[in-house]
Amino acid sequence: MGYTNLGPTDLGRTAVLTSYISEGGQLMGRFIQRAGLSGAFEWQNLPEDWYRQIFDPFTRAARTEPFFIAATREPGRRRDPCTTP
pLDDT tens digits for 32-43? Answer: 998 887 777 777
Whether residue 4 contacts residue 43, with contact meaning beta carbons closer than 8 Å, is answered with yes
- As a whole number, mean pLDDT of residues 47-76 equals 82
77 against 58, higher pLDDT: 58
Spatial distance between the Cα atoms of 26 and 69, rounded to a whole number of angstroms: 41
Q: Report pLDDT for 37.
A: 77
Indicate the Cα dihedral angle 10, 16, 22, 27, nearest 10°: 10
26 against 79, higher pLDDT: 26
Q: Report pLDDT for 40.
A: 73
Per-residue pLDDT for 12 more than 60? yes
Q: Report pLDDT for 6.
A: 57
Q: How sure is the predictor about 57, in pLDDT bands with cuts at 50, 70 and 90?
A: very high
